[in-house]
Amino acid sequence: MVKTYILLAFVCMGIVATRCNSSNDSNKKYQNLKFESVNDSLYQSDENYKQGLATWKQYYEHCMNQPLFADAFYLQLQDKINIGSINNAHATDITKGLKILDTAKNKNLFHLLAIMNSANCSDTLPLSNHLRKDFYTEITKLLSVSTEYKNLPANFDSTQMSIRVGTLYYDALRPDTLISTLNRTTDSSLLRYKELLLRPENALLAQTVYMIGFSAELPLKIKPGIEQEAALKKGVSFSLNTSNDKINMVLLSNNHVRLQVNKRYTVLGKFLKLKVN
C-alpha cells in the first residue's frame, strides 16, 4: 500500500502539472531540457509529517555531519521506491522493470550516480507517537511472515519501544549527466524512460536517504510460552520476503525482546520534474 506522506510530493506535482504546457510532443527529440525541484510549499502538511521530517532531518545532520539537502520529503519507512524511480499521484515506481541503472542493453549507467556519504551512527532515534506507530506497524508486518511469531507483537508494550538506526546512506543522481544521456541515447528503454519523465504528472526520485536496517527493543507484557521463551533466549532468525532481508530476535534477561531488522528503507527523498527549457 502506498503510504500517506509519499503522496505529499505527488499532490504537489499534480498542482504544478496543471500550470505546465500540456502540448509537449513525446515523440519530439528534446535537446534543451532542465530539471526543477518539487517542494511541498503548496501542501498544508499536518503535524505528524512536520514532526517526522524534523526528527529525521535532525538525526541525519547529526549522524552525517552535513546539512540535509533542500526540498526533502519525509517518506516514512518506504520500501517500494528507490533512486531513479519515476512516480506520480496515482502510482509509485511506474517504470517497474525499467530502471535507469539497468537498461535494455544491460549497461549499468553508474556514472549517473553520485554516492555522496554514509555513516553508521547506531544512535537512538527520538520517537514521537506517530514515529513509534510507524515502527511498530512495520515490526508487526515483518513478523507476520512467521507462523510461529506473527502473534508476538500483541505482547509487546510499544509505549516503551526504543529504536536504534543502522547505517544511513545518502546518494544522488547527477541531473546534468542524466539529461546529456537522455538526449544522446538510442536505447529503447532510455527513450521510454525519457518519455515518461517528460509527462507533467511524473517526477524522478533523484536524491535519497536510506536507512539500512534498525534494531528495536520492546518489553513483553507477559512471559511467552515455555517453548517460545526457550527459543527466543537462544535467539531466532528468519528471512523476510527476499533472501537479503532478515530479522533476528533474542529475549533479554529483563524480559525485553531485541529485534535486529536487516532491510533497506527510503526515509527521505528529493523529487525532480523534467521539463523543456
Summarize pLDDT for 161-218 with one digit per residue, the tens.
999 998 999 999 999 999 998 888 888 888 888 999 999 989 999 999 999 999 999 9
Q: Are 232 and 249 in contact (CB under 8 A)?
A: yes
Q: Would you say residue 12 lies in a domain?
A: yes
Which is more confident, 105 or 223? Answer: 223
Q: Would you say residue 91 lies in a domain?
A: yes
Q: Would you say residue 232 lies in a domain?
A: yes
Q: Would you say residue 92 lies in a domain?
A: yes
11 Cβ neighbours under 8 A, 6+ residues apart? 42, 43, 89
* pTM (two decimals): 0.84
Summarize pLDDT for 118-158 with one digit per residue, the tens.
899 889 999 999 999 999 999 999 999 999 999 999 999 99
Instruction: List the Cα angle 274/99/27 in 5-degree steps.
Output: 50
Q: How many domains does the chain have?
A: 1
Q: Would you say residue 1 lies in a domain?
A: no
Domain extent for 209: 6-276
